[in-house]
Amino acid sequence: MKAFLGTDIGSYAFDASAKQITFTGITLSLRQILAIINTTRNVVLYKPSSPSTGGSLIGSILTLTFDTTTHGDYDELMIVIDVDIPMSTKAAIPLELSLDASGIAQPVQFAYINSNQQLTNEIIIPAPGVGRSIRILSYAIIAGPVNLDITLIGPTISLLFPISAYGGIAFSGTLLGPAFQCQENTELKLTTSAVVQITGHLSYVLV
């Protein structure tokens, strides 16, 4: 399953000048590291499908191909990994909750994007029902070797993001500081301007 290193399990230390990320509290293989985005600078640091954003893993240290020497050691990274989290670990993870209009606790949920087609108003999160809205907390989306624009439509919100080849976008928010919120009982749709491989995920709650 997909998880966030540093949030769901384990932790990391970033040495920008050495272009290295050290993982602690977890043992990973290179194939388990799906993507790394510097959310402070909105830059993709690691995406294995691109030679310019690859890397090598020796023990617990990932050395990046991407030049991070102008970045900061305390920049926030979003590290997406593929790992089975033991139930004992899951139970120790604090789960953020949101209350809907009825006072019922709503857990954080995830929506995933994985397409190599041009998308037009593709529904990625269905309408939640009368009296509820989709509140997007965070997102990370990575594209392939083509420049493109993607648009998230709510529909009262319409957010357009230009993405360069092998680039991406990311936002790391919270319940109190979310990315955005859709209109009541409205699905979230995705439109892309070109045919390109695109992958990503969004975390959200229903309020």
Domain count, the chain: 2
Q: Are 110 and 2 in contact (CB under 8 A)?
A: yes
DSSP count for the chain of H helices, then E strands:
1, 19
Band the pLDDT of 97: cuts 50, 70, 90. Answer: very low
Band the pLDDT of 22: cuts 50, 70, 90. Answer: very high
pLDDT digits (tens, 9 = 90+) for 7-18: 778 899 999 999
pLDDT digits (tens, 9 = 90+) for 49-94: 778 889 999 999 999 999 999 999 999 888 888 886 554 444 343 4
Cα gap 75→88, rounded to integer Å:
30
Q: Are 57 and 33 in contact (CB under 8 A)?
A: yes
Do 80 and 102 share a domain, yes or no? no
Do 101 and 198 share a domain, yes or no? yes
Side by side, the strands of the sheet bearing 148-153 are 122-125, 188-192, 148-153, 158-163
Domain at 117, CATH number: 2.60.120.340
CA terminus-to-terminus distance, the chain: 25
Do 53 and 146 share a domain, yes or no? no
User: Average pLDDT in the 134-160 region?
Assistant: 79
Note down the domain range covering 42.
Answer: 2-91
Do 102 and 87 share a domain, yes or no? no
Do 102 and 196 share a domain, yes or no? yes
Instruction: Please identify, among 61, 91, 121, the residue that sits at the C-terminal boundary of a domain.
Output: 91
* pLDDT value of position 155: 65
Do 103 and 147 share a domain, yes or no? yes
Do 107 and 198 share a domain, yes or no? yes
Q: Are 61 and 14 in contact (CB under 8 A)?
A: no
Do 104 and 135 share a domain, yes or no? yes
Do 115 and 83 share a domain, yes or no? no
Neighbours of 110 (CB within 10 A): 15
Instruction: Please identify, among 56, 72, 91, the residue that sits at the C-terminal boundary of a domain.
Output: 91
Do 139 and 199 share a domain, yes or no? yes
pTM, to two decimals: 0.57
Do 155 and 62 share a domain, yes or no? no
Q: Are 202 and 125 in contact (CB under 8 A)?
A: yes
* pLDDT value of position 150: 81
Buried b (16+ CB within 10 A) or exposed e, 122-131: eebbebbeee
If we measure between CA atoms, which residue out of 179, 152, 193, 163 comes closest to residue 37?
Answer: 163
Instruction: Please identify, among 91, 109, 135, the residue that sits at the C-terminal boundary of a domain.
Output: 91
Buried b (16+ CB within 10 A) or exposed e, 139-163: bbbbbbebebebbbbbeeeeeebeb
Do 35 and 19 share a domain, yes or no? yes
